[in-house]
């Protein structure tokens, strides 16, 4: 991996140097001077990332949260190869879940998970959700069984706008939470309808009594 990282740095450095030459040739001196500080900061940032090992990031740990028997799982699926956009989708989704659904997380009604869809151990669920690229999936469970799921392909188009991205995630989670509440309400209604308290008592006048 160190050799791979080194090659990556070389390619980035070569690209940066080429970019500087092209800019210097195509822009007037004054414009080039204005751009130079930005290029210097980019180069410094790359050097800093290399020195701290940030360019060789470990893969994110698989989500260890337990799947609720009755509740939702907000599940981010990533591939073995990571990109900046993939990481942005993951981080923005996690931030939205933890900021806006903390009570549900604490109560165990909602869980946040991360999985590698290219891992053979996740092949079955990746196939079930038809995952071919990094994406967010919301799963609804009832009685310990998967009852419904929703793959949010739209996150790729919204990731550049954090506020719209967050609202989209919130709306979908709230919609599926509403489904759970409706299901619980229907169950309570059935239980009440079948209770002894709702069975009508017979009219005394309709009961035949033996003649004296």
Same domain flag for 9 and 85: no
Instruction: Please give the Cα distance from 89 to 134 (Å, whole number).
Output: 9
Instruction: Please give the Cα distance from 140 to 183 (Å, whole number).
Output: 12
Instruction: Please give the Cα distance from 155 to 90 (Å, whole number).
Output: 10
Same domain flag for 141 and 172: yes
**Per-block average pLDDT, block size 10, for the chain (212 residues)?**
53 55 54 60 58 47 72 97 95 98 95 97 96 97 95 97 98 93 56 46 50 50
Question: CA dihedral in degrees (66, 67, 69, 71; nearest 10)?
Answer: 120
**Assessment of whether the complete model's pTM goes beyond 0.75:** no
The pLDDT assigned to 134 comes to: 97
Same domain flag for 143 and 46: no
Range of the domain at 167: 71-189
Same domain flag for 14 and 75: no
Under a CB-based contact definition with an 8 Å cutoff, are residues 110 and 172 in contact? no
The pLDDT assigned to 179 comes to: 85
Under a CB-based contact definition with an 8 Å cutoff, are residues 74 and 173 in contact? yes
> Does residue 173 sit within a domain?
yes
Whichever domain contains 150, its CATH number is 3.40.30.10
Same domain flag for 79 and 161: yes
Same domain flag for 46 and 76: no
Under a CB-based contact definition with an 8 Å cutoff, are residues 137 and 151 in contact? yes
The pLDDT assigned to 94 comes to: 98
The pLDDT assigned to 55 comes to: 44
In the chain, the number of structural domains is 2
The pLDDT assigned to 129 comes to: 98
The pLDDT assigned to 47 comes to: 60
The pLDDT assigned to 193 comes to: 46
Instruction: Please give the Cα distance from 136 to 153 (Å, whole number).
Output: 7
């Amino acid at each position: 991996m160190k050799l791979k990282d080194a090659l990556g740095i070389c390619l980035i450095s070569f690209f940066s140097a080429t970019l500087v030459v092209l800019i210097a040739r195509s822009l007037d001196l004054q414009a080039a001077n204005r751009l130079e500080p930005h290029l210097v900061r980019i180069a410094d940032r790359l050097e800093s990332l290399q020195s701290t090992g940030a360019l060789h990031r470990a893969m994110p740990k698989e989500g260890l949260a337990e799947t609720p028997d009755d509740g939702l799982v907000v599940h981010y699926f990533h591939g073995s190869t990571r990109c900046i956009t993939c990481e942005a989708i993951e981080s923005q989704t996690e931030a939205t879940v933890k900021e806006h659904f903390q009570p549900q997380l604490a109560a165990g009604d909602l869980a946040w998970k991360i999985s590698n869809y290219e891992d053979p151990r996740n092949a079955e669920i990746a196939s079930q959700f038809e995952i071919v690229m990094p994406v967010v999936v919301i799963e609804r469970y009832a009685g310990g069984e998967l009852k419904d799921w929703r793959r949010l392909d739209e996150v790729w188009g919204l990731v550049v706008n954090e506020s719209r991205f967050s609202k989209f995630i919130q709306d979908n989670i709230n919609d599926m939470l509403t489904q759970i509440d409706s299901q619980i309400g229907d169950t309570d209604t059935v239980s009440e309808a079948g209770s002894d308290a709702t069975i009508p008592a017979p009219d005394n006048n309709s009961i035949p009594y033996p003649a004296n």
